[in-house]
Amino acid sequence: MHVHAILKTKSASRKGPAVVTADPKATLAEVARSLADNNIGAVVVTTTDGRVAGIFSERDIVRHVAKSGAAALDKPVADLMTKAVITCTAEDSIDAVMTKMTRGRFRHVPVIGADARLVGLVSIGDVVKHHVEEIEHEATALRDYITQPH
């Protein structure tokens, strides 16, 4: 199974934009508000032409507030975001994305299109949900096979 299967189910159930993004000049306070308002764990920081400049997650907020106190909240996200972003494409396998998350110890992977623009985001929650659904389908198919007369 590939990443586009996850993007498809997400776009069917989503009310807002494909990915919640932040301007590089947004402050940490603004990003924190966006994470809370959208009930998400990370924003992708994008340039005006829609390219990925960085990623910033709730874990980064905790880290920077612990280090600098409330003063961190006035800083622009561009100064504190993770710039070396690991991305994937819609054609990548979900297993490959899971491996990236496990190896990198992060829970969000932006999905990039052919023109290097952001087309989606896969979270660990999406991957787990997909996995559980796959296992449930398999169990149903096996149960049907066992119970049908041969």
Strand positions, DSSP E, the chain: 21-22, 42-46, 52-57, 108-112, 118-123
Q: Measured from the CB atom, is 45 or 130 closer to ligand AMP?
A: 45
Nearer to ligand AMP, 12 or 66 (CB): 66
> What spatial distance separates the first Cα and last Cα of the chain, rounded to whole Å?
30
Q: Closest separation between CB of residue 52 and ligand AMP, Å? A: 9
What span, in angstroms and rounded, lies between the C-alpha atoms of 128 and 97?
Answer: 12
The answer to whether the CB of 131 falls within 8 A of the CB of 2 is: no
Q: In angstroms, give the least distance from the CB of 6 to ligand AMP.
A: 15
Binding residues (CB under 6 A) for ligand AMP: these are 41-42, 55-60, 82, 85-86, 104, 106-109
d(CA 33, CA 127): 25
Shortest spacing between CB 88 and ligand AMP, in angstroms: 9
Q: Which helix (H) or strand (E) holds 61?
A: helix 58-68
Residue number, nearest CB to ligand AMP: 57
Residue type, 109: V
Q: Of 25 and 137, which CB lies nearer to ligand AMP in the complex structure?
A: 25
CB of 78 to ligand AMP, least distance (A): 13
Nearer to ligand AMP, 22 or 106 (CB): 106
4/59 with CB nearer ligand AMP: 59
The whole-angstrom distance between residue 13's C-alpha and the CA centroid of its chain comes to 16
Give the nearest distance from C-beta 101 to ligand AMP in angstroms. Answer: 8
